[in-house]
Amino acid sequence: MTFGPPDHISDLDTLPRMPVWVTSARAETLEDVAFLSGAALNHLHLVLGRAEVPQALLRDRIALRAAEACLAFSGRSERAGELRDAVHLLRPGDLPGPAGETYLHWRRSVEWPVSIKALDRALPTIEPGQIAAWLDAGKGARVCRGVMVLETVLTEAPRTDVAALILADTAIAQALGWDHLVPLLAAGLKRADLRKRGDDLRFACHRALISSAVEAVRLSTELARRAAHLKAVAPKLRAKGAGEAVDMFLTRDAVAPSALPLPDRAARRLCDRLVELGAVRELTGRDTFRLYGV
């Protein structure tokens, strides 16, 4: 596989920016916040349709934020670095622990196109029939479907915050015609919001979607630039297997050198070279057990 620099790297600046009136408006009523969340989701829909945006990488990074939020809801303190360690430094036979499991639920939920089978992989402790039944609870307008799924799951299974939020995001993705789930609700909600019902929950979810869509658009622009740079420097890499390694960096939030399709020493050299070229970053700040990402 070969890569070349984008024909017009400056074209990345043409990615549509979220209108200021969406980010600065203060919604006081359910009608107002619903209008703004619709505008924000429509704008995100346009950005997600752009070829410059590394979609799998974007979803994987947003999944990390969703996992952080869910752990905070349950009173745990693990942050992004600890979650990356829990998953990416696992050895065969190791268990990821509760925090790592939460992160894996979210990572698996965004990895495959939306389907009951894919959700069963992400939520293996829930019967596929139950997953389908909860998704069927979503009726009405697009965001309302997600809110109804969230409320139904939280009411019937109060201790399943992660599953409830994954299925609610799934309902919204299906309503918007997206092939993959994009985690949006968890990072924008507060712990107290999960106890709300009816219009109060709808208001909180619309508000969460606005803030998360704004952040997703910002992150899309950032990752599009960084991905373009990685593709531009890829021809300078001499190591055998470098093309496959670049593909991994373009689809994963973090990569351990041991996961790359190269011998250990060659993998570490490749990562160091990519850091020198400004194409990836070392994410841990450690001298050993390092992780790298775009």
CATH 2.60.40 describes domain 237-293 = no
The per-residue pLDDT of the chain, averaged, comes to 93
Over residues 5-21, the mean pLDDT reads 66
Asked whether the predicted pLDDT for residue 151 surpasses 90, the reply is yes
Q: Which pLDDT does position 6 carry in this prediction?
A: 44
Predicted TM-score (pTM) of this structure: 0.91
What is the per-residue pLDDT for 9? 47
Q: Write out pLDDT tens, residues 207-264.
A: 999 999 999 999 999 999 999 999 999 999 988 889 999 999 999 999 999 999 999 9
Query: Residue 145 pLDDT more than 50?
Result: yes
Report the C-alpha gap between 137 and 140 in whole angstroms: 10
**Hey, is 141 helix, strand or coil?**
coil
What is the distance of C-alpha 84 from the center of its chain? 13
User: Where do the domains of the chain lie?
Assistant: 9-225, 237-293
Q: CA-to-CA distance for 65 and 88, rounded, in angstroms?
A: 16
Residue type at 148 in one-letter notation:
M
Maximum mean pLDDT: which of 23-37, 131-145, 206-220: 206-220
Q: 281: which strand partners?
A: 293
